Amino acid sequence: MIGKPIKACVVVGALVALLAGVVWSEELAAPQWWDPAPSVLYKYADGSEVVKLYVPADPLPAGMKVVVGATFPHFKDPIWVSHNYGLAVEAARLGIQVYFQNPGGYTEIERQVDIMENFVGQGMDAILLASVSDTALVPIAEATQGEGTPVFVVANDLAVDAPLIQEKIVCTYDYIGESCGQYVLGKLPSGGSVALLPGPAGASWSEQTEQGFLRALQDRPDITVIATKWGETDKDIQRALIENVLTAFPDVNYIVGNALAVVSAADILSGWPSSKPRPKLVSTYYIPAVLDGIRGGTIEAVALEPVTLVEFIAANEIAKYFTGWYAAHGEQMPTHIVPLPSFGTAENIESINWTWIAAPEDWEVHWTNL
């Protein structure tokens, strides 16, 4: 299977002629992330599931061109910058050209719909979607897939499955939320209180965080979620929410929240009176400042979503789709691949495989990769 003919397109950022030959950039050299191979959960259309080692694809055959339009919510925080890194460098290794265009935030539903429509009009071979809403983007995703442009859903879950889209590569955040809940259970054997700051209201990942967290606590009525605060992952917004929580509930035992909330809490608590009990902090995902907090003892733990691994695999799934990899290997193409999360504390943080989790600290956002 080969890509459709490509029309010229204009995307924010540096412009590259689509019909030009691939130009390799040393800056975009991908790490050999598959050694050792990651274990991932494969889900199939018949309902079966299996955990096995992921096998990467080879670069596209000479002469094959595949151009992908990728749209993420924004690049305002390190987690989305890491998604940009993972997709840009691994797609470059495979010879897939990617153009990024983002709506700018989780409230910009119509803007992301417009981006999807523009990608189709520009003749993209495939679209990679990290949706700003788990429901509002379903119609455009289904329509795009139905018109013959495969839609690969990454990072943020979407309330639709194959065959109405092509495939998901999503570490659903109910896994993340549940792992955080289990951690807190172990730390509060006699009960206690928790404030939860999942992230933006309406975003699939933040709502799934809450669902998974509450599921973990359902058999422990002695642990109370005394506040749940929603907000965009913007440092000023999250700091205001944390200030509100600490004013209303100064004796809360644990604050579990998105990375910017937890980093803000650590900063505020640095001036906490020594006579007052200090809330413990658990982040639902990693950014560099969280690692600094764990190393410095101000943040207790972090759930580690394999952010860059999601995008490494997404690029490979696109390559496998266009080259017929699964049929050639006598395998069924999965409907959903789940890169499995891990959990980091001061005891194990230095042994974590960071290649699967985050971009290098000096990575700058790329709007195209080849």
Counting residues of the chain whose pLDDT is more than 70, the rounded percentage is 92
Kindly provide the b/e burial profile for residues 209-243, where b requires at least 16 CB atoms within 10 angstroms of the residue's own CB. bbbbbbebbeeeeebebebbbbbbbebebbbebbe
**pLDDT at residue 334 in the model:** 98
Q: Where are the domains of the chain?
A: 26-171+306-341, 173-304
Q: Which residue has the tokens 């274990």?
A: 39
**pLDDT at residue 42 in the model:** 97
Using an 8 Å Cβ cutoff, are 100 and 321 in contact?
A: no
| Number of neighbours of residue 364 by Cβ within 10 angstroms | 10
For residue range 55-92, what is the model confidence (pLDDT) as tens digits? 999 999 999 999 999 999 999 888 899 999 999 999 99
DSSP type of residue 350: G
Q: How far does CA 63 lie from the centroid of its chain?
A: 32
Instruction: Work out the mean pLDDT of the chain and round it to a whole number.
Output: 90
CA–CA distance, 138 with 161 (Å, rounded to integer): 10
Which pLDDT band holds residue 17 (cuts at 50, 70, 90)? very low
What's the fold here for domain 26-171+306-341? Rossmann fold (3.40.50)
Reference 311, options 237, 363, 241, 258; nearest CA is 363
**Token representation of residue 114:** 């417009």
CA–CA distance, 52 with 252 (Å, rounded to integer): 40
**pLDDT at residue 286 in the model:** 86
Give the DSSP H/E element, type plus range, for residue 344: strand 342-345
As a whole number, mean pLDDT of residues 1-24 equals 32
CATH code of 173-304, in short, is 3.40.50.2300
Q: Going by DSSP bridges, is the β-strand pair 39-43/67-71 parallel, antiparallel, or unpaired?
A: unpaired
Residue 370 pLDDT > 50: yes
**pLDDT at residue 86 in the model:** 97
Query: Is 26-171+306-341's fold the same as 173-304's?
Result: yes
As a whole number, mean pLDDT of residues 341-366 equals 91
More reliable by pLDDT, 104 or 23? 104
For residue range 133-184, what is the model confidence (pLDDT) as tens digits? 989 999 999 999 999 999 999 999 899 999 999 999 998 888 899 999 999 9
**pLDDT at residue 72 in the model:** 97
Which pLDDT band holds residue 27 (cuts at 50, 70, 90)? low
**Three-state DSSP class for residue 120:** helix
